[in-house]
Structure 1
Amino acid sequence: MNRTVRPLLLGCLLLASSLPALAGGNSLLVPANARCVLDLEPPALPDALRLCEQAALGGDLQAAFELGEFYHDGRRAPRDLAKALKWFEQASLHGHALAQHRLGVMFFRGEGVPASNVQAYIVLKMAAVNGDESALDTADRVSTQMRRDELEIATQVLGQVFRNYLLDLQVAD
């Protein structure tokens, strides 16, 4: 296994193994129900960011997503792709579909990370499974840019993720 595939496989398997603990054991249905308010005027923004970070660190997936959006868009503060990546990854690892979609696009474009069609495709497919329908279209666009060997690797990793998920469902029954 080459150096690129091993971390990718380990990361995807980590993703698959962390999901069943959420949503009553149904790893593919993880709701996001809290929200940070980060569209405030500059004097109030530091406190709002602090509260949002506390919520995200406490497991609020929507808060982590909102922080990722805040740092990615660069409209209310300087764009910080490293922080955006951190928060999108945190929410993504727990099944937040929109965060997975944003993360997949970051991998595709090489925003804050080395560009990787394989990682982009895998994360986008997971986003689609988790409920972001537009992620499926984005994954299809990514697949048109992939070599055959890249698509085979991505398909193998996704197959393993879903096999693990089905095994978890069988064990839960």
Structure 2
Amino acid sequence: MARRGEATTTGGATPAVVALTRAGVSFTPHHYDHDPAAESFGLEAAEELGVEPGRVFKTLVVDLAAGGGRGLGVTILPVDRQLDLKAAGAGFGVKRVALADPLVAERATGYVVGGISPLGRRTAAPSVLDDSALGHPSIFVSGGRRGFDLELAPTDLVTLLDARLAPISR
């Protein structure tokens, strides 16, 4: 990992960087040239960063009401996997979840789709991290904009988000 609390080099710090810096967590920022025509933002990130897709994690906002809960939740899973809606529901303690409308996700997080970070969100929400994250010394999550990822220890992410760990992908 790089210096503790290193700010981005392409402008101001994102809310995700601010959250990590305030918490005193070590992380490494990674910038890459984002192609707006990319079919998968996450797979593009893995390729551009030169890391296996299983180490790059996407953030999906889910609606807990689909399974009897209330509000929104945040799931974090490898970019080369799909969210298992029933397994994610179990991770939140509800029957199942549904993907939130993209506009709702953007409003709730303060980020644009393709750049939603699990860190520094506009509103707090329960989080579930796919348990495969613990198989890596570090993982990559969105830094809050397309073309910007943050590398950090998965245990630090769990602690910062007070996240549950569960097998939520297939």
Give the TM-score normalised by structure 2.
0.25
| Larger RCO: 1 or 2 (CA < 8 Å, sep 6+) | 2
Determine which structure has the larger helix proportion and give its number: 1
Determine which structure has the larger strand proportion and give its number: 2
Give the TM-score normalised by structure 1.
0.25
